[in-house]
Amino acid sequence: MIAEDHWYRLDPKTIAASVALVLAPLVPAAAVVLVSGTSPAALGTMAVLWLGIAALIAGGSALEWYFSRFRITAERFELRSGALSRSHRSIPRDRIRSVDLTAGPGHRIFRLAVVTIGTGQSGDELKLDAVPRSRAEQLRQVLLPAATGGTAEAVADDELARMRPAWFGYSMLTTSLVLVVWGALASAIGSFSELLGTLGAYDALAGTARSLGLWLVLAAGFLLALVIGAAGALALSVEMWWGFRLTRGADALRVRRGLLTTRSVSLQEARLRGVEIAEPLVLRAARGARLNAVATGLSEGGENQPDNKVLLPPAPRATVREVAGLVLGAPFSPALRGHPRAALHRRLVRAGAAWAVLAVTAVVLVLRGIMPGWAAVLIAVAALVLLVALAVAGYRALGHQLDERQLVARSGAVVRRTVALRREGIIGWRMRQTVFQRRSGLISVAATTAAGSGMYAVSDVSTSEGLRLAEEAVPDLLTPFLEPVADSHLE
């Protein structure tokens, strides 16, 4: 067990792990260079340069290891590091909110883990790269109970969810992963453009286009891109979510996942303010969704990884709702109250305005001879259908519900988001009513909280319902700002 007031070094095997990470790409890079016809002398020069860089990195890692120490006292966690520029940083133990473990392929070979100790504030964290895996687990047990005044006794975790093989298929419908794959493919083609030219790939493609026709080649390329994107998204999902488990300990939720790079992320339940169910358009069509945490210290960007807030990867919608209920400790009901028809009219008007701008642009292009008339008509019709469909989908997504424990709000046409926010986590309200909303008797009421995006809105609800919702969710918070009126929408 880790003793208090004793300075510990990082594991010396971290030097070998950093060198292995640098040398790993040498073999495939050398193979590519040989295929491209580079001379053995050039290959030898590249290898020498690569080995020299590895030696420099090994020296830097050795210095960092020698000068890095950490210790745990009764009140603080302290870290000393730096060879040329020394630093001594510390975090009070009662402010520690997370102890997350990460192990890439290089670290896993040597049974090491990178420990990230955070306070829930972006940028306010300490990182140990790296320590033995057993010591990393000991650090978690010692430091996390200190954040809530508990003890370091091990408690068996209750399993809330486990990855099922069928769930990987939902990741193939995740647009963000597909875009990542396409971006990597485009970058690879650009990087190896000269090699592809040497191998005659471009000449073969041009010959195929002449023999089969340009449109057929483009259609085949589009289908191939879809297949590659889906397969790549599946591969990324397997790497990210292999072995996924969501468990609940004494006072924290814990997510374990990863194939090549393993991750173990802990979330103190005291930081949890609610959950969010996200349903992107394509995934929603397959009745899939994913589950995110709404918690303090999980920023939308910056140094925190965006996927640190994910409690469940893309999975069947029914399973996501069930797990959301387990996390919240109360059943998650999808039955929500609808919004007035005036909210649909607002979305249709906005769709019509956007279509009018597009139609005028198309007419100008036709008059200048830039676009043929049939193309302008086709684009205008397709845009009208799409915009109206999005307006209707946006209206159908609107909904809210309030019960004794939480406020539930849903919105979004392309990405439908359903947020269940614990009432005790609401710290204020923001009321927004435009001129057009006032004429329609609508208002947007946003609950503010010190978690997630900081604000979650119930959009385009009737004025009386919005004010009632805010007052009942947090009694007496809004009352001093209200006064009775004799008329209309502000009742």
Q: What is the pLDDT of residue 307?
A: 64
Q: What percentage of the chain reaches a pLDDT higher than 90?
A: 51
From residue 441, alpha-carbon distances to 195, 204, 398 in Å are 64, 64, 16
Tens digit of pLDDT for each residue in 294-312?
A: 988 764 444 334 467 899 9
Confidence band for 115, pLDDT divided at 50, 70 and 90: very high
Predicted TM-score (pTM) above 0.85: no
Q: What is the pLDDT of residue 430?
A: 93
Q: What is the pLDDT of residue 303?
A: 39
Number of domains in the chain: 3
**One domain for residues 237 and 379:** no
Identify the CA nearest to 14 among candidates 60, 80, 49.
Answer: 60
**One domain for residues 168 and 116:** no
**One domain for residues 138 and 43:** yes
- Least confident span in 188-192, 250-254, 357-361: 188-192
Residue 144 in this model has a pLDDT that exceeds 60: yes
- Mean pLDDT, range 414-442, rounded to an integer: 93
- Mean pLDDT (the chain) is 85
From 101, 122, 154, the end of a domain falls on: 154
Residue 203 in this model has a pLDDT that exceeds 80: no
In a domain, residue 441? The reply is: no
- Mean pLDDT, range 211-216, rounded to an integer: 76
**One domain for residues 179 and 288:** yes
Q: What is the pLDDT of residue 485?
A: 56
Q: What percentage of the chain reaches a pLDDT higher than 70?
A: 86
- Mean pLDDT, range 240-261, rounded to an integer: 90
Q: What is the pLDDT of residue 489?
A: 45
In a domain, residue 437? The reply is: no
CA 182 to chain centre: 18
Confidence band for 146, pLDDT divided at 50, 70 and 90: low
Tens digit of pLDDT for each residue in 357-415?
A: 999 999 999 998 888 888 889 999 999 999 999 999 999 999 999 988 999 999 999 99
**One domain for residues 179 and 271:** yes
- Mean pLDDT, range 187-209, rounded to an integer: 72
**One domain for residues 16 and 139:** yes
In a domain, residue 435? The reply is: no
In terms of residue numbers, what domain contains 126?
A: 8-154
